[in-house]
Amino acid sequence: MSERIRNIFATLLLILLAASAFVAGYFTNDFVDMRRGEVTVPADDADGFGLFWEAWGRVEDNYLGELPSSKELTYGAIRGSIALLGDPYTFFVEPVDREIERQSLQGTFGGVGATVSRPEEGGPIFLEPIPGNPAAEAGILSGDELLAVDGQPITPEMTVQEVANLVRGEKGTVVVLTVLHPGETEPVDIEVERGDILIPSVSYRLLRENEQVGYIQLTRFSGESANEIETAVTDLQSQGATQLILDLRGNGGGLLDAAVSVADHFLADGPILYQQSRGEDERVYEATAETLAPSIPIMVLIDGGTASSSEILAGALQDRGRALLVGSTPTFGKGSVQLVYDLSDGSSVHVTASRWLTPDRNQLDQQGLSPDVLVTVTQEDIDNGRDAVLNAAVLELQRLAQND
């Protein structure tokens, strides 16, 4: 291995280890800050990797199979070093996945506006255009089989994510999709100009069984979530909703600021959460005086997949007496804060740095939130497709209305 590659590799490892020791932490979808960190590395520390290079030299000289590239070796060493911390929320993300992650949390991405799926393992890839987006306007049809992207054939070995990465791209660029329309025998090439594609985090409707109840499902916390919640609440109230159900089941988190902004829609003044970090004063996130829905009755649906930022929102509404939590299990218990450091090649390292407490100073990490209304979900409910938790929330809202 060349001396230049060895020096680059040793420097990258030292930067990672120094940054990990200095900061300490990250958390699966919840981001407080995104930055590029610079760390000074003592030059004489590189000698500490002599044993590593001794071992790798033996592998390089004698290994029968194909050796990894210098980049693959660097990424593998970074992952191995981070694994020594024993923290599942501190991890390394490669450039392509980091860009997807960033776009998802922003709430938009550059693409054609079509879902990519593979119903059978190793089978064909199919497209489902989203109405009003570039793919549909260019002529992509529901159920089109995707054969190639910009002339690159789609193979059974490709994952759905790899195919989606080929289709995505910068707004304004053109991608050629080779597709086979349903019922046709000859493929066609369709040029699609990529645009900004909104990734909704919120869906909502009036409940059919009780049209005074507005149902809102929030799947993650993106940069658009607060605006989407505002639109949902305003529209539901204009349709006659006098009560709300906020479904956070399966919501694994997202942007911390988004969770605070959503909580602010339902709370006036006072704390939303407390954040404790090593070597820093406790930080208090507070609601503003302006509130979108200060008094409408709310039930929040939770489960074991309710984690991170969704626990921040649920805990704030519960502690402040603004909503009851309804579920069959406690929440996940993910109450730590992660910083995201973007690295020079577009990759990133995510580091756990802080812990969260609810307004009543209850710890979320490894404890979670318990339902105010505990629901028993039976096998009969599952077999018949009944949503026992949602039904229990509706009954609880009816009970509250009768008491009023």
**Residue 271 forms beta bridges with which residues?**
286
Q: For residues 144 and 151, what is the distance between their CA atoms, to the nearest angstrom? A: 16
Query: Of 308, 309, 328, 347, which is the active-site residue?
Result: 308
Query: Of 144, 310, 319, 348, which is the active-site residue?
Result: 319
Q: For residues 360 and 46, what is the distance between their CA atoms, to the nearest angstrom? A: 48
Query: Of 201, 334, 347, 348, which is the active-site residue?
Result: 334
Q: For residues 164 and 102, what is the distance between their CA atoms, to the nearest angstrom? A: 15
Neighbours of 161 (CB within 10 A): 12
Q: What is the 3-state secondary structure (H, E, C) of the chain?
A: CCHHHHHHHHHHHHHHHHHHHHHCCCCCCCEEEEECCCCCCCHHHHHHHHHHHHHHHHHHHHCCCCCCCHHHHHHHHHHHHHHCCCCCCCEEECHHHHHHHHHHHHCEEEECCEEEECCCCCCCEEEEECCCCHHHHHCCCCCEEEEEECCEECCCCCCHHHHHHHHCCCCCCEEEEEEECCCCCCCEEEEEECEEEECCCEEEEEECCEEEEEEEEECCECCCHHHHHHHHHHHHHHCCCCEEEEECCCCCCEEHHHHHHHHHCCCCCCEEEEEEECCCCCEEEECCCCCCCCCCCEEEECCCCCCCHHHHHHHHHHHCCCCEEEECCCCCCCCEEEEEEECCCCCEEEEEEEEEECCCCCECCCCCCCCCEECCCCHHHHHCCCCHHHHHHHHHHHHHHHHC
Q: Based on the residue annotation, tell me whether 171 is a catalytic residue of this protein.
A: no
Q: Which residues are catalytic?
A: 308, 319, 334
